[in-house]
Amino acid sequence: MNKLQKALKINALFSSISGVIMVLLNQPIAKLFETNNNKVFWIVGLILIFFAVTIWYEIFKQRKLAVIWIIIQDFIWVLGSSILILFNPFKTTLTGNLIIGLIAIIVLYMGINQMIGLKKTQQIKN
C-alpha cells in the first residue's frame, strides 16, 4: 500500500466513523451543540458516509482528478468550519466550536497527507 492509499484510507475510516456516529447519535450531539435541530447532524452524517464510499473506491483506483477532488472537498470542509467558528451564525456553543475546530484540524492534516501521497505517487508513475 503506497502513501496515497494510506492517506486515503485514514480519511475513509475517519469519514465513515464520523458519519455513522452522527447518524446514530444525532440527538446527543445536538444537545452538545445546545440545539433542538438534530436533523442537520443526521444529514451531515449521511453525506460523510457517501463521501467515505467514494474515498474507499479511490483507494483502489487512485485516479488523479478524483483524488484531487477529494482533497478539495477536505479543504472546503476546513474553510467552512473556519467560517462557522469565526462568524458563529448558528450560535454554536463553545463545546460545539471546539469539536468543529478539532475535526477541521484533523481534516486539514488528512488533506495535506493526501496531497503529499498524490505527489509521491505521480513521481513514481512518471
Q: What is the pLDDT of residues 19-30, one digit of tens each?
A: 999 999 999 999
**pLDDT on residue 66:** 97
Give the sign of the dihedral formed by CA 14, CA 16, CA 19, CA 21. Answer: negative
Does the pLDDT at position 99 exceed 70?
A: yes
What pLDDT score does 123 carry?
73
In this predicted structure, what is the pLDDT of residue 124?
64
| Residue 118 grid coordinates | 498524490
According to the model, what pLDDT value does residue 107 have? 98
Q: Model pTM?
A: 0.93
Distance CA 23, CA 30 (A): 11
